[in-house]
Amino acid sequence: MARFALVTGGSSGIGEQYLRQLAAEGRNVVVVSNRDDENRRVAASVRAEFGVEAEPLCVDLTEPTAAEQIFEFCEQHAIEVNILINNAGLQHVSLIEDFPIEKFEQMLQIMLTGPFMLTREVIPIFKKQQSGRIINMASINGLIGFAGKSAYNSAKHGLIGLTKVTALECATDSVTVNAICPGYVDT
């Protein structure tokens, strides 16, 4: 089995930049998002530019079986995940009293429940390998509050908490778990 880095939200923005950096370092990648055409475009571009394996995978992280679908795909394609980057996200800004509950739930599903489910699936793999890396894309929004961002702040605060717990639970198994908080500068 070939080793791969799996990046959710990998078809654009920060996720695509992480994919390209990993590929530039010679790592194979799985491009995961809910945009099939963009996944295929990025995978083809990465293969051509860096000469690594790049697999596109269209999955909607709001689906309860998304994590299972992702790891079934990996098994079917002889992909051994050794890096998981939970990056998928979206934004909606509205005051709490006007915030649509459906949008709130969607954002939590993509940015907190999705990473939990993927982490839950990958931990046994990493423990068996006695190695693995989980990187959760948090945000300064996970450290402080911003008006109009109740769902985003809630998801990112939760993701930082999930990162801390996962790191503690995996500490003796050579699995590292970190959260990256863009916008945060420790002075």
Is 152 among the residues known to form the active site? yes
CA distance 67 to 7: 12
Beta strand 132-137 with 175-180: parallel, antiparallel or unpaired?
A: parallel
Chain position carrying tokens 């475009």: 41
Give CA angle at 88 (87, 91), nearest 5°: 115
Chain position carrying tokens 């050579």: 174
Q: Which of 71, 152, 158, 162 is catalytic?
A: 152
Amino acid code (one letter) for 149: K
Give which of 3, 35, 1 is closest to 15, Cα–Cα.
35
Residues designated as active site: 152
